């Protein structure tokens, strides 16, 4: 028997309609390539969004069609989010910093009909154009005065496109499972894979993101969106801010510029900011050099990579800013976990709090989380057992877009395997200990390569260290330590191995050490363990 | 094209599973008829809930069957909420304070298979039993030691029922639109009408209820649930508290006892409490008399009836408690609006804030709100125009349970007509000005009967006043003022009518005055305008 409640769908257009009526005067402030200080209100934004929806109609785009964006965080990108998804098309955000061949692959794989491109990204698109056979036209996100010369045949100007359109548009109502947005993950191996979000997943994710123990967005907030809108929908901030009537500040191309961020924060009285750790290092470094402060900011959310404890501590001690580290992936929209103090944790010292805040965080209602052993059996939440981290919920991907030959990302029970290995403590705090492909499987038990690496670099003579599992006749795999040592300082194999005694479980201790001149790295600066495993493919333990 | 996200349903059992894993040690404290200080944890609660689910299975209850509860707020009622709905049955909460014939009607109309009854309500059920032919058995919510003697053939003891059951139970997964709970409205006319909630509506309502600008529930909170769990699911608090890991305090039968509430608040360090204005009058009156304080409480949510400004002011000035008035109905789950300060309102004096807080509040994302004129055309949000208040959203009723001969509650556009007349100001603050059936329709314009009544009682010689619309040959309807005056103080008709000059628009001024000895009242103490309209059916304006 069904309940007798309205079957009103959860649609992205309903967020827009709600903000338009309830927070018409709230501001959106942007830095763009053509204007360092653009400001308008939600009322203005959604009037232009309706003009844009009419313009898209005139271009002949239909429900379900993909529209690509290659743009920084600003008001035009925000308008695209709502006009494209609100009309039932798919807003396909593309990272312009990927390798050019990846950008080409992504646009062609998604079959984007039109591209909306930031002025600063136009040189890239000019170069790629001959390979983008399916794209019907390019809209440059600027006004006539700033239009660049172009070799591309069907180039249009964003402002000109909007100028002639009516600001009246009836947003269509459709199934909430309709695709709303598309974002490709740039994995370290193989081609990028597309995650196709729905209106339902976006709206539920925004509700959860605003909760007091998550990002606690309210109408009082002024949100600085530093995380790019091409990274997992800007972590959902473009949806959650209008949902609660928060003021929005978008730094455009200035997202990694500590000085520019500091000026923007103070000019607009930003209360909360979201971004990756690198951004906060840049900001903190500027604050340190200049002696500037950011008194309006009370919290910062960090994700995308493990946040060093030093960032958390500096923000708190020097600037009275509480850092909330979250964990998520493109496949999880991205909100998976976020740290929050729970009363059950009892009295915590400042130091214990920092330690906890440096972990990946606690579950958020809507995401179920488990760790499993090699037989897919759930492991206890005791802070010790570690296993494959799996998640489930209405904003988790069930498959990749048009990935005919790819693996199903779900396990036999329907859980998404994150590819991470983690522990979960009795309070529900999750800590990632390794990547699944890097964990060392020794005699049916797992050894964390990351923990061994962290231990190794603690040795004064070690510059950099990697640990990989290598075949072992008795234990299946055993850890091999590969190190770069300091030039002036000879360290022997025995000395290095002895360093692990008392620092890790005895059976975790590496079986051997390989000394190398340098370690290979990926484009994003991580140790390239795939290369290392190839390099040591024929290695045998002594 | 659909998105490729998991189709995980929104189920009440997922709230329970989440709290069980993430907040196992958080407490639930109850006052019951058989124990004035019962305390256990979410872990305990959900283990017993699984025992109860097994017991329900053994009773032969099937998915979709209705289980009636007649109980106060305590841990056993909480267990029923989750065991019944989590199993796919319908938790039908019944107000034991209704007229006995209404209780009988409701149980029979819902076809409840079993009733779970508080010790204190057993005498009522004993009396009604002969009329409850369809009920198969009654479970008394107590232990063996407290079991009452009973004439009812199939009477069981709650604790005995649970004792023999396993605490292992796999919650079934089903369509999120499945009915979860049933609650009857007790209208002033006709039989009560049943509102049938779904898992989807309950979960979405809980998300919205926790938002920072709504009730801002967090894991740090200790929530005192004073609003009865038989009133619109206790305003959703039994769902939202476990969703965020808040501690719960339930006062059982002590909900209107100021002294008991104060003691409970201070013993458990309650931070937020929800209830109707009458409760807060009782608490404030006790605090005033005793000189006690409630330092742990920082906010109180009020609804169910218009909250006098004096309550809001006293809480704030004397006890540093911020009062959040909300508006809702059984048909809206109930969350419709709640007041929140918005930056766009500018600088407000304390006095202006109290005035605003005494209004019905602002929209919450998920509920769309509009006011319409007599032709169903939307009216502007200017704070002046007033029209029929209509709402729409995933937690609004679309029809009543098994109401074959009833009116469809939705208008032609699919909006639920609340039966209230309201204004909405440019900031989205809604104020109810009248009931639709009481508003006076004069020459195509509406006149608020409530505003005229409030003006009339401001006259020093008036004890009580009612205004009803009566037929008028030219204007369709005109207002007739009906007053009870003070014995010692003669007031003339002309004097009374002159009182309105300058106090209301000239065309709102009543056309005539009728002096009566007393006004008729409903069971809940409101002026019975239906009776008045009958009494003055033949009235003609002079």
Query: Within a domain: residue B219?
Result: no
Model pLDDT, residue B374: 86
Model pLDDT, residue B443: 85
Residues A449-462 have a mean pLDDT of 90
pLDDT digits (tens, 9 = 90+) for A301-322: 999 888 889 999 999 999 999 9
Nearest CA to B229 out of B91, B121, B106, B83 is that of B91
Q: Which two tokens stand for residue A471?
A: 């075949």
Query: Within a domain: residue B352?
Result: no
What is the sign, positive or negative, of the torsion defined by CA atoms of B50, B56, B61, B65?
A: negative
Identify whether the C-beta of residue B185 lies closer than 8 Å to the C-beta of residue A191. Answer: no
Peptide bond into A2 cis (omega under 30): no
Q: Is residue A368 pLDDT above 80, yes or no? A: yes
- Alpha-carbon distance A23 to B479, whole Å? 37
Question: Up-side HSE of residue A442: CA atoms within 13 Å toward CB?
Answer: 20
Give B160: exposed, middle or buried? Use CB within 10 Å, 0-12, 13-18, 19+: middle
CATH code: domain of residue A465: 3.30.300.30
pLDDT digits (tens, 9 = 90+) for A80-106: 999 999 999 999 999 999 989 999 999
Nearest CA to A120 out of A185, A153, A73 is that of A73
Ranges A218-222, A407-411, B435-439: which has the least confidence: A407-411
Considering only CB atoms, A179 lies closest to which of B2, B7, B212, namely: B2
- Alpha-carbon distance A412 to B66, whole Å? 35
Q: Which two tokens stand for residue A300?
A: 């910062």
Output A451 or A265, whichever has higher pLDDT.
A265
Model pLDDT, residue A495: 93
* CB atoms A398 and B6 under 8 Å: yes
pLDDT digits (tens, 9 = 90+) for A256-300: 899 999 999 999 999 999 999 989 999 999 999 999 999 999 999
* CB atoms A22 and B416 under 8 Å: no
With bands split at pLDDT 50, 70 and 90, how would you rate the model's confidence at A489? confident
With bands split at pLDDT 50, 70 and 90, how would you rate the model's confidence at A524? low
* CB atoms A6 and B414 under 8 Å: yes
Of B198, B228, B254, the last residue of a domain is: B198
Please list, in sequence order, all residues whose beta carbon lies within 8 angstroms of the beta carbon of residue B341, skipping any fewer than 6 positions away. Answer: A220, B348, B353, B356
* CA distances from residue B288 to A16, B256, B258, B292, B442 in whole angstroms, order as listed: 47, 16, 11, 7, 46
ipTM of the complex: 0.93
Identify whether the C-beta of residue A420 lies closer than 8 Å to the C-beta of residue B31. Answer: no
Of A148, A164, A198, the last residue of a domain is: A198
Model pLDDT, residue A436: 87
* CB atoms A392 and B6 under 8 Å: yes
Which domain does A465 fall in, by range? 438-535
What is the sign, positive or negative, of the torsion defined by CA atoms of A229, A232, A233, A235?
A: negative
Of A198, A219, A241, the last residue of a domain is: A198
Q: Which two tokens stand for residue B327?
A: 């508006």
Model pLDDT, residue A189: 64
Query: Within a domain: residue A316?
Result: no
Global pTM value: 0.93
- To which residue do tokens 């929530």 refer? B223
Model pLDDT, residue A426: 95
Q: Is residue A468 pLDDT above 70, yes or no? A: yes
Model pLDDT, residue B406: 66
Query: Within a domain: residue B114?
Result: yes
Average pLDDT, chain A: 94
Q: Which residues of B touch A5 (CB under 8 A)?
A: 177, 196-198, 200-201, 333, 394-398
Model pLDDT, residue A159: 98
Separation in Å, CA of B397 to nearest CA in chain A: 4
Model pLDDT, residue A16: 98
Considering only CB atoms, B243 lies closest to which of A219, A365, A401, namely: A365
Model pLDDT, residue B488: 75
Separation in Å, CA of A19 to nearest CA in chain B: 9
Model pLDDT, residue B189: 64
Nearest CA to A8 out of B79, B398, B173 is that of B398
Considering only CB atoms, B394 lies closest to which of A5, A21, A199, namely: A5
Residue among B1, B3, B395 with most chain A CBs within 10 A, to mutate = B3
Q: Report the chain A residue with the minimal C-alpha distance to residue B402.
A: A4
**Antiparallel, parallel or unpaired: β A27-32 and A247-250:** parallel
For chain A, report the end-to-end CA distance as a whole number of angstroms.
67
CATH code: domain of residue A157: 3.40.50.12780
pLDDT digits (tens, 9 = 90+) for A55-86: 999 999 999 999 999 999 999 999 999 999 99
- To which residue do tokens 């103080």 refer? B489
Please list, in sequence order, all residues whose beta carbon lies within 8 angstroms of the beta carbon of residue B441, skipping any fewer than 6 positions away. Answer: B374, B447, B469, B476, B477
* CB atoms A21 and B178 under 8 Å: no
Model pLDDT, residue B308: 86
Separation in Å, CA of B305 to nearest CA in chain A: 23
- Alpha-carbon distance A181 to A67, whole Å? 9
State the DSSP code for B349.
-
- Alpha-carbon distance A311 to A354, whole Å? 10
Q: Report the chain A residue with the minimal C-alpha distance to residue B346.
A: A25
Q: Which residues of B touch A10 (CB under 8 A)?
A: 204, 394
* CB atoms A207 and B212 under 8 Å: no
* CB atoms A207 and B208 under 8 Å: yes
pLDDT in tens, chain B (542 residues): 999 999 999 999 999 999 999 999 999 999 998 899 999 999 999 999 999 999 999 999 999 999 999 999 999 999 999 999 999 999 999 999 998 999 999 999 999 999 999 999 999 999 999 999 999 999 999 999 999 999 999 999 999 999 999 999 999 999 999 999 999 997 666 789 999 999 999 999 999 999 999 999 999 999 999 999 999 999 999 999 999 999 999 999 988 899 999 999 999 999 999 999 989 999 999 999 999 999 999 999 999 888 889 999 999 999 999 999 999 999 999 999 999 999 999 999 999 999 999 999 999 999 999 999 988 999 999 999 999 999 999 999 999 999 876 667 899 899 999 999 999 999 999 999 988 889 998 888 889 898 899 899 889 999 899 999 999 999 889 999 999 998 877 899 999 999 999 999 899 999 999 999 999 987 767 888 889 999 999 999 98
Please list, in sequence order, all residues whose beta carbon lies within 8 angstroms of the beta carbon of residue A123, skipping any fewer than 6 positions away. Answer: none
Considering only CB atoms, B340 lies closest to which of A219, A365, A401, namely: A219
Residues of A with catalytic annotation? 185, 331, 441, 446
Identify whether the C-beta of residue A148 lies closer than 8 Å to the C-beta of residue A34. Answer: no
Model pLDDT, residue A188: 60
* CB atoms A3 and B180 under 8 Å: yes
- Alpha-carbon distance B217 to B203, whole Å? 14
- To which residue do tokens 């329970």 refer? B16
Chain centre to alpha carbon of residue A330 = 6
Backbone phi, then psi, for B416, in 5-degree steps? -85, 125
Q: Which two tokens stand for residue B49?
A: 């809930």
Q: Is residue A412 pLDDT above 80, yes or no? A: yes
Ranges A389-393, A516-520, B1-5: which has the least confidence: A516-520
Model pLDDT, residue A167: 98
Model pLDDT, residue A187: 65
Residues A227-255 have a mean pLDDT of 96
Specify the number of domains making up chain B.
Answer: 2
**Antiparallel, parallel or unpaired: β B322-328 and B387-392:** unpaired
- Alpha-carbon distance A442 to A484, whole Å? 25
- Alpha-carbon distance B198 to B209, whole Å? 16
Identify whether the C-beta of residue B271 lies closer than 8 Å to the C-beta of residue B296. Answer: yes
Nearest CA to B265 out of B290, B244, B243, B233 is that of B290
Cβ–Cβ pairs < 8 A, chains A and B: 215
Q: Report the chain A residue with the minimal C-alpha distance to residue B3.
A: A179
* CB atoms B344 and A244 under 8 Å: no
Model pLDDT, residue A168: 98
Please list, in sequence order, all residues whose beta carbon lies within 8 angstroms of the beta carbon of residue B321, skipping any fewer than 6 positions away. Answer: B294, B297, B298, B299, B300, B315
């Amino acid at each position: 028997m069904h309940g007798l409640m309205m079957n009103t769908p959860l649609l992205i257009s309903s967020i827009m309609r709600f903000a338009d009526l309830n927070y018409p005067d709230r501001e959106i402030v942007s830095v763009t390539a053509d204007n360092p200080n653009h400001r308008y209100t939600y009322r203005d934004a959604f009037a232009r969004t309706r003009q844009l929806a009419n313009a898209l109609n005139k271009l002949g785009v239909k429900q379900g069609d993909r529209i690509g964006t290659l743009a920084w965080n600003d008001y035009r990108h925000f308008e695209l989010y709502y006009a494209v998804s609100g009309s039932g098309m798919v807003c396909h955000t593309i990272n312009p910093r990927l390798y050019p061949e990846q950008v080409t692959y992504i646009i062609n794989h998604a079959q984007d009909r039109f591209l909306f491109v930031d002025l600063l990204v136009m040189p890239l698109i000019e170069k790629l154009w001959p390979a983008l056979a399916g794209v019907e036209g390019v809209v440059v996100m600027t006004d006539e005065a700033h239009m660049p010369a172009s070799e591309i045949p069907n180039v249009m100007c964003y402002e000109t496109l909007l100028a002639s359109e009516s600001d009246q548009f009836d947003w269509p109502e459709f199934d909430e499972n309709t695709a709303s947005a598309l974002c490709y993950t740039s994995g370290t191996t193989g081609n990028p894979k597309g995650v196709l979000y729905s209106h339902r997943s976006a709206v539920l994710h925004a509700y959860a993101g605003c909760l007091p123990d998550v990002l606690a967005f309210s109408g009082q907030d002024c949100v600085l969106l530093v995380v790019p809108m091409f990274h997992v929908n800007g972590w959902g901030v473009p949806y959650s801010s209008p949902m609660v009537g928060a003021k929005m500040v978008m730094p455009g191309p200035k997202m990694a510029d500590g000085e520019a961020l500091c000026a923007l924060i103070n000019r607009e009285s930003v209360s909360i900011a979201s971004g990756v750790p690198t951004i906060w290092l840049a900001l903190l470094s500027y604050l340190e050099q200049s002696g500037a402060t950011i008194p309006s900011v009370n919290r910062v959310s960090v994700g995308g990579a493990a946040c060093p404890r030093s960032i958390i501590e500096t923000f708190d001690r020097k600037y009275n800013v509480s850092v909330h580290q979250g964990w998520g992936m493109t496949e999880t929209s991205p909100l998976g976990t976020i740290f929050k103090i729970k009363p059950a944790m009892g009295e915590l010292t400042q130091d214990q709090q920092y330690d906890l805040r440096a972990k990946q965080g606690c579950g958020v209602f809507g995401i179920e989380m488990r760790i499993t052993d090699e037989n897919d059996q759930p492991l206890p939440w005791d802070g010790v057992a570690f296993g494959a981290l799996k998640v489930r919920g209405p904003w988790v991907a069930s498959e990749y877009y048009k990935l005919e030959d790819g693996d199903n990302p779900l396990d036999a029970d329907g859980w998404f395997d994150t590819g991470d290995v983690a522990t979960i403590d009795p309070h529900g705090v999750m800590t990632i200990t390794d990547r699944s492909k890097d964990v060392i499987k020794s005699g049916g038990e797992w050894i964390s390569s990351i923990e061994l690496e962290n231990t190794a670099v603690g040795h004064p003579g070690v510059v950099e260290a990697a640990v990989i599992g290598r075949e072992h006749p008795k234990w299946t795999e055993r850890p091999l330590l590969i190190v770069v040592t300091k030039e002036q300082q000879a360290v022997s194999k025995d000395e290095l191995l002895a360093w692990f005694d008392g620092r890790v479980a005895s059976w975790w201790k590496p079986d051997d050490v390989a000394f190398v001149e340098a370690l290979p790295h990926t484009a994003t600066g991580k140790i390239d363990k795939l290369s290392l495993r190839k390099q040591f493919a024929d290695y045998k333990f002594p």
